[in-house]
Structure 1
Amino acid sequence: MPFGDRTERSMPRDDTDLVDRIYEAAFVGEFWPDILHDIAEEVGSCGGALLDLHPDGMRWVGSQMMSDLLADFAALGRPELDTRTPHGLASTHPGFITEFDVMTRAELATQPMYTEFLWPRGYGWCAGSAVKVPTGDKLLYTFERRYDDGPFDSAAVDKLDALRPHLARAAVLSGRLELERARAATEMLGLVGLPGAVLSLSHRIAAANGLFEALIPDVIRDGSKRVAFSDPGADALLEAVLSEGRARSMRSIPLAAREGHPPMIAHLVPVRLAARDIFFSASAVLLITPVTRREVPSADIIEGLFDLTPAESRVARGIARGGTIQTLAGISGNSPETVRSQLKAVFMKTGLSRQAELVSLLAGLHVPGPDPTAAGETDGD
């Protein structure tokens, strides 16, 4: 069904309090549930929410009824059922749309989102509108009606359309505030000499300090789809980590020396977000630490940096200190085949392919402190 001929209408004077409260929510996030509830009541809806759909799931802020409904849906673990949210995010219509703007009534009856989730719970009619925020991502305002109350009529949609400019500006204001906080965080890293950037959920650079920007494009590339490393091996590791969705723990990736730049270690630190922190969709902070040539660090440091097993880290350190597969096998009591297999795992996790590269990398790392594995270390499988 086509969008029709809707035009934006002005807000009645007695609704100015509602508009004022929308802008208050832009600065005080705790106000969002109440204002979304009150807007829902104004248009004959049972609840409203503002949600963000991303590769790791979805986050939202909403009235109590909508928060409960969205939590029930998330608990199903079947995001593929949701066919209407992608329609809403893809829409270029500058206003609210309903199911009948993208599907017929017969088509609705074929959608599991309705037949298996919404209708059995007594819901099934919505009006929604997408808003682009400063990171380039989109958020979706959505309001739900009970099935027995019938679809949103044109009067309800017109009222939502009159509110939409204020809702859109409020979301953008919230997004800009969070983006400024991210920029401030990267500048703090710059004060202690660390190049740093905040990545959005789409894995692009959302904010970066000057030290980080100085590495573009020689070391880092700000690609159209995601941040990338100029070093192919390191970028393959980065792509693998990002493809897993949001990282659950810090990951470290070695960057080979390039002309004018020393060897570096990139640390991808996940951002822990509360469900309501939807206005700035940050996935991680990317830190870059240059390395200086010193004594090879201890095995436990190597293990922590590159997610190696204890056996792999000791093999890596042994190679970096000039050992061979045969000598390491003799020291550890393992077969040369076992040591060779452990070394292959080290190459895979560090993105390197030659022993010389491993020696160069680990000899370049400097972490102050005692070396608890300096002599007499043994190894077991």
Structure 2
Amino acid sequence: MVDLFDETLTDRIYEAAVIPEKWPDVLGEMSRAVDGAGGLLFTANADHTGGITSADIKTTFEEFIRDGWAAMNIRPARLGAANYAGFVRDNDFFTDEELDNDPVYRDFYRKRGLGWATGTMLDTPSGDSIIFSFERAYAKGPVPVEVVQQFDKLRPHLARSALLSSRLGLERAMAMAEALQALGLPGAVLRGGGRVLAVNSALERLMPSLVQDRRERLYVSDEAADVLLADALRRRPVAGGPAMVNSIPVAATDEHPPMILHLLPIHGAAHDLFSRATSLLVITPVDRAVVPTAQVLQGLFDLTPAEARVARGISEAQTVEGLALSAGVSVETVRSQLKAVLSKTGLSRQQELIHLLAGTMLPASKTPPTP
């Protein structure tokens, strides 16, 4: 059998473990060696699916994730059920009838000229599944058995490299949290669904009075703020979509001043594929002594410049009518902007906004559910 792969490919596989940006080139080289249409390396769990691809299939994979095809994909389940320590092909565990009638094969793969692949699944100590898949054009027929045999020779190296990347990804997440600590900011790196991956000591000191590290996800002790956090975690951006930053107000208590929770997406970086980091949570206190400037308000709550001016004006006890007159706009426009401010800050009344921005006590929150 002719060896399909360059003898230095193994070295490049291990290099990609340390420098994840090299994975696309490695996947592309493996795919081209077997006359394939693209290589993919992705991780999957109950919360999230994401991956790295060779350049030739990147757009297709982003569409696959964005449009919900990944949720219907039965390949991972069949691979997992097979529990086979090697590469397998579609026609090894699907019948022809299943392939013809499955909506993902019929309506996604084949409509894009794909439909054959060889792949393998690796389980990690964290419970995630790591999958390598190499796609082949439907017109070329199933992946030849001799090609699969050569992929099997590389599988131990791919497995060790992926597991090493997973370990390094966790270390990067921890370093990210500690970088926030150096800036004096409590922070945590979250996995899919809001589960804690790494947390710095500044945030640990706010547990459990402000936040609680529960099994299913990070919770906020303030019930109203926790509802907003849960909603923000559900609205994760899809691959290729715009980044969504959420700023969530938390009422003051006897133990801490009013706080702002900022949830920032970790989006599209190869470094974060294996750590499963999806969000960065940063906490900043509201200074009791200073009403934030319009620029600060804009950054804290993701307001437009006009909304920020309205928020600051309200915090300074200006009226809606006065704000409209000074800005040269209608009262209805200012009311609409104020409504947007309340929505973005998670508040329901103008007086609550004044209390928040003045750093005084917000209305008492209900007692949160028992962990």
- What is the TM-score when the length of structure 1 is the normalising length? 0.72
Aligned counterparts of 1:19 and 1:335: Cα–Cα separation in 2: 67
The AA in structure 2 aligned to 1:99 is D
SS in 2 for 1:109: helix
Match of 1:329 among 321, 331, 338: 321
Note the 1:148-187 alignment, pairs <5 A: 150-152=141-143, 157=148, 160-161=151-152, 163-187=154-178
The AA in structure 2 aligned to 1:267 is H
Match of 2:292 among 293, 297, 300: 297
250-259 or 346-355, which deviates more: 346-355
1:248 has 2:240 as partner: no
Aligned counterparts of 2:76 and 2:59: Cα–Cα separation in 1: 19
Aligned counterparts of 1:86 and 1:218: Cα–Cα separation in 2: 43
Aligned counterparts of 1:159 and 1:172: Cα–Cα separation in 2: 21
Change (3 A) 1:265 1:176: same
Match of 2:115 among 121, 124, 127: 124
- CA positional deviation for 1:286: 1.2
Aligned counterparts of 1:304 and 1:79: Cα–Cα separation in 2: 31
SS in 2 for 1:295: coil
Number of residue pairs matched by the alignment: 346
Aligned counterparts of 1:78 and 1:307: Cα–Cα separation in 2: 24
- CA positional deviation for 1:338: 7.1
- Matching residue of 2:363: none
Contact 2:313 2:323 in 1 (8 A): no
Q: Deviations over 1:155-184 (max 9, x none)?
A: 655654554343222112112213212211
Contact 1:254 1:265 in 2 (8 A): yes
The AA in structure 1 aligned to 2:265 is P
Contact 1:196 1:287 in 2 (8 A): yes
Give 5+ residue unaligned stretches, structure 1. 1-11, 366-381
Identity of aligned residues (%): 45
SS in 2 for 1:212: helix
Change (3 A) 1:242 1:320: same
- Matching residue of 2:213: 222
Change (3 A) 1:131 1:187: same
- CA positional deviation for 1:195: 0.7
Change (3 A) 1:293 1:41: closer
Contact 2:169 2:273 in 1 (8 A): no
330-339 or 174-183, which deviates more: 330-339
- Matching residue of 1:61: 53
- CA positional deviation for 1:29: 3.3
Change (3 A) 1:42 1:346: closer
Change (3 A) 1:18 1:77: closer
Aligned counterparts of 2:72 and 2:337: Cα–Cα separation in 1: 48
- CA positional deviation for 1:45: 5.6
SS in 1 for 2:289: coil
- Matching residue of 2:76: 88
Aligned counterparts of 1:335 and 1:170: Cα–Cα separation in 2: 62
SS in 1 for 2:115: strand
Give 5+ residue unaligned stretches, structure 2. 361-371
- CA positional deviation for 1:154: 6.1
Structure number with greater Rg is 1
Match of 1:212 among 187, 196, 203: 203
Change (3 A) 1:31 1:253: closer
Aligned counterparts of 2:281 and 2:66: Cα–Cα separation in 1: 31
Change (3 A) 1:146 1:302: closer
Q: Deviations over 1:182-209 (max 9, x none)?
A: 2112212212321111223443222221
SS in 1 for 2:353: helix
- CA positional deviation for 1:25: 2.7
Q: Deviations over 1:299-355 (max 9, x none)?
A: 3432332234555444543443445xxx54356448888766655443332223455
The AA in structure 1 aligned to 2:260 is I
Change (3 A) 1:43 1:84: farther
- Matching residue of 1:258: 253
Contact 1:135 1:200 in 2 (8 A): no
- CA positional deviation for 1:109: 0.9
Contact 1:135 1:280 in 2 (8 A): no
- Matching residue of 1:282: 277
Contact 1:199 1:207 in 2 (8 A): yes
Change (3 A) 1:250 1:73: closer
- Matching residue of 1:364: 359
Match of 1:237 among 228, 244, 262: 228
The AA in structure 2 aligned to 1:290 is P
The AA in structure 2 aligned to 1:61 is T
The AA in structure 2 aligned to 1:262 is P
